[in-house]
Structure 1
């Protein structure tokens, strides 16, 4: 057995063991309860041990397992506090870290995908990675642009894909799909299987660095004149290597979530929302990977609140007609105006409600609250408590909203938009950020201000 299949087999075995480990923790808890330990103490210990096992394994595996964990980390704010508290440390750590690949492997990748003369352009490369993600890692380097004699050397970020990342990613996601039901008890109320299915559908695009370079270059050009949002330009690209401008940043939004002042939370939360909605308006694409590690804090020259840097354009939605669907803003405005009949008719026309499906208009308004409520006020404050309340309400099998959700359909053209919006709500709720949401929608969301 060669090295790559051997590693893949090891990953598969460890992923398959995750639900068994969870079952073992449950058995441990039951034993302690029978021994007289309080149920609450048992559950806390079971959850803590389960979190440690699950996220340690996901963090070590790279590939689909780590991508799965990153996707879950954005939704952490929706979990009940007694469940999310033991997991939070492991989830946030997973967003910014992963084990590095050997330096020799990095150099082999550079030779294969930038050419044997890569060292003439990339004149220095830090041996240790500055960041690692699900399918690759980033090194700092210095680039000499021979096509521009006046340019000299400049600092760059060199993103190198793990060899065999495509095969490993798809293998991991297939295995995660098989064990999703068993892992689901770790996340009460979260429907894991559709999340994995969506990750599978987007995996091929994220492995294509040429597609990523195309998207990032478009964003860099579109935001070049923006005073508060920075996107690094593309320097060079190969099939599994992407070189971009370096961006000096002390930390990501994960740090602001953990330690930021309220002023910082509001400031960066507002910039994040503006980027989310201005992006489609400026580029015809939607940045569809809203986890905190992709958004960097850039210090201001005057020592005040800084700018927001944006990374990782592997997951973007290339929007039909180059804009967000106008029906999105139009239907949100109709919902804000409490025009129940027009809302049902509009959702039916867009394919959210199938023919012959009967929907109670009042219940529909209640169900859509998480999407509509932030636009009903001049400034809206996203909190974990608010998101948890909304999430529990629509995911409780005993509730009427849950029954209504089973009747709704999500058109294919809205899949990535919906996932991105849910992830964005999760990030804003983790930040506990207040933002002029309505004003931003009026400026940038087609159909909302019409």
Structure 2
């Protein structure tokens, strides 16, 4: 493991090259403008080249860089089409691919976790990884009782890599901001840092997965693979094959996309009530559709612990907004710490800012698509927009960071699916009191 500092230094150098590359392209573009080039065309070329470099580097690395890239990929639908098209394929790859670690490292890690005779636990073990995640990779194998299993193995030095990547990425947040107008990237990186320790211990992930598997055992809509064995840096669970959600996004029929969106929405809104936990990493790489129509959910390293279901302050916020009670809504936001001290925000401004969160629940079915999400991103990201200043006066209490991440991430995935979703009915099923005072659906 003596090469970890050298690997970390190389990773840092690659990440550090991103802002330097962008600066170089900006200088070149400025020169072409002086020579009479078309400003919009040059800006688009610069954005495309920066995007290509950004996602090429994030895709090559593991750890925090890939994890951040995965989180970023969920919001691809918010990026204007002229910028999104050139690197959409790279974004999709970030959801499920990374360079594999050598077989000798796999053997060393599994020997440390399960003992030198670890191969005796399996009747078959494929040394070629079947998939890659942000801090580990997955191998297909057959457990000693004949079950096909997935063996998740953490990359050597993952902890050091995560720390290094996240520190470097926090310095790069200004470079990434143009890709996602309206999204404050720094809190996302801060949240990743806060949750890193949980995700590094696969025993925690195994416990989370066991809880979900027990709650959804025999469920007609959702399948969570059962855990077979776990250790701090390795985990074994049942192997199930399904169609990747990214494939449904890219090639699915409207019926398939609507079905996937329905299953995903129902799972995420129901699990706080059914499990007391919320799957907190909603990118397409963690969801697959089975041949029988069920949604298979994997990767439970990040969860929000909600023993009493969805937090009441968040539900109350939604209830007051749906009931069109702006004065009561603003008072609630101030009381619960959602508004910064000294803010002069008005009740109408608070209602207007939260409108996108309630809009999908004013009708029986709502169409989530890229055009709608891009409009929302422009609305809160435009310096000239009233909502931009409103957003600066709002605050997100730390205990709701993961729930907010899931909400925003789910909206991003639904818009990638370009789907019609009966969200009002789903939310009403699990939190009916939210709609007690709201106007009738349209």
Taking structure 2 as the reference length, the TM-score comes to 0.95
Quote the Cα distance in structure 1 between the aligned partners of 2:37 and 2:365: 46
Quote the Cα distance in structure 2 between the aligned partners of 1:47 and 1:406: 26
What corresponds to 1:209 in structure 2? 202
Quote the Cα distance in structure 1 between the aligned partners of 2:30 and 2:181: 19
Per-residue Cα deviation, 1:9-36 (whole angstroms, up to 9, x for no partner):
0011111111001112223333444454
What corresponds to 2:439 in structure 1? none
What corresponds to 2:359 in structure 1? 373
What corresponds to 2:420 in structure 1? 434
Q: Is the 2:137–2:154 Cα contact (8 Å) retained in structure 1? A: yes
The 1:437/1:182 distance shift into structure 2, 3 A limit, reads closer
Out of 189-198 and 388-397, give the one that drifted further: 189-198
How far apart are 1:403 and its partner, in Å? Answer: 1.1
Quote the Cα distance in structure 2 between the aligned partners of 1:207 and 1:447: 38
SS in 2 for 1:368: helix
The 1:169/1:267 distance shift into structure 2, 3 A limit, reads same
SS in 1 for 2:338: coil
Quote the Cα distance in structure 2 between the aligned partners of 1:128 and 1:407: 51
Structure 2 matches for 1:26-65, cutoff 5 A? 26-65=26-65
Quote the Cα distance in structure 1 between the aligned partners of 2:317 and 2:165: 38
Out of 154-163 and 406-415, give the one that drifted further: 406-415
Q: Is the 1:366–1:401 Cα contact (8 Å) retained in structure 2? A: yes
Q: Is the 1:47–1:86 Cα contact (8 Å) retained in structure 2? A: no
Out of 91-100 and 263-272, give the one that drifted further: 91-100
The 1:360/1:258 distance shift into structure 2, 3 A limit, reads same
Q: Is the 1:44–1:86 Cα contact (8 Å) retained in structure 2? A: no
SS in 2 for 1:19: helix
What corresponds to 1:271 in structure 2? 263
The 1:382/1:186 distance shift into structure 2, 3 A limit, reads closer
Quote the Cα distance in structure 1 between the aligned partners of 2:329 and 2:399: 19
Quote the Cα distance in structure 2 between the aligned partners of 1:34 and 1:297: 53
What corresponds to 2:302 in structure 1? 315
How far apart are 1:371 and its partner, in Å? Answer: 0.9
SS in 2 for 1:415: helix
Q: Is the 2:249–2:417 Cα contact (8 Å) retained in structure 1? A: yes
Structure 2 matches for 1:245-324, cutoff 5 A? 245-249=238-242, 251-300=243-292, 306-319=293-306, 321-324=307-310
How far apart are 1:198 and its partner, in Å? Answer: 1.3
Quote the Cα distance in structure 1 between the aligned partners of 2:378 and 2:256: 29
How far apart are 1:86 and its partner, in Å? Answer: 2.2
What corresponds to 2:67 in structure 1? 67
The 1:8/1:355 distance shift into structure 2, 3 A limit, reads closer
Per-residue Cα deviation, 1:399-447 (whole angstroms, up to 9, x for no partner):
2111111111211211111111011111101111111101110111374
Unaligned runs of 5+ in 1: 145-151, 301-305
What corresponds to 2:337 in structure 1? 351
SS in 1 for 2:434: coil
SS in 2 for 1:388: helix
Per-residue Cα deviation, 1:359-406 (whole angstroms, up to 9, x for no partner):
211121110012111111101110111111111111212221111111
How far apart are 1:262 and its partner, in Å? Answer: 0.6
Per-residue Cα deviation, 1:300-350 (whole angstroms, up to 9, x for no partner):
2xxxxx21110100010112x431112322321221121111211222232
Out of 321-330 and 33-42, give the one that drifted further: 33-42
Taking structure 1 as the reference length, the TM-score comes to 0.93
Per-residue Cα deviation, 1:21-72 (whole angstroms, up to 9, x for no partner):
1112223333444454433432333222222211111111111111111111
**Cα-Cα RMSD:** 1.7
1:398 aligns with 2:390: no
1:422 aligns with 2:422: no
Please point out which of 208, 219, 222 is paired with 2:215: 222
Please point out which of 155, 163, 167 is paired with 2:160: 167
Quote the Cα distance in structure 2 between the aligned partners of 1:190 and 1:85: 19
What corresponds to 1:14 in structure 2? 14
Structure 2 matches for 1:8-157, cutoff 5 A? 8-144=8-144, 152-157=145-150
Please point out which of 311, 319, 330 is paired with 1:333: 319
What corresponds to 2:440 in structure 1? none
Unaligned runs of 5+ in 2: 437-442
What corresponds to 1:240 in structure 2? 233
Size of the aligned set, in residue pairs, is 436
Quote the Cα distance in structure 1 between the aligned partners of 2:342 and 2:181: 32
Q: Is the 2:151–2:235 Cα contact (8 Å) retained in structure 1? A: yes
1:382 aligns with 2:368: yes
How far apart are 1:175 and its partner, in Å? Answer: 1.2
Quote the Cα distance in structure 1 between the aligned partners of 2:86 and 2:39: 16
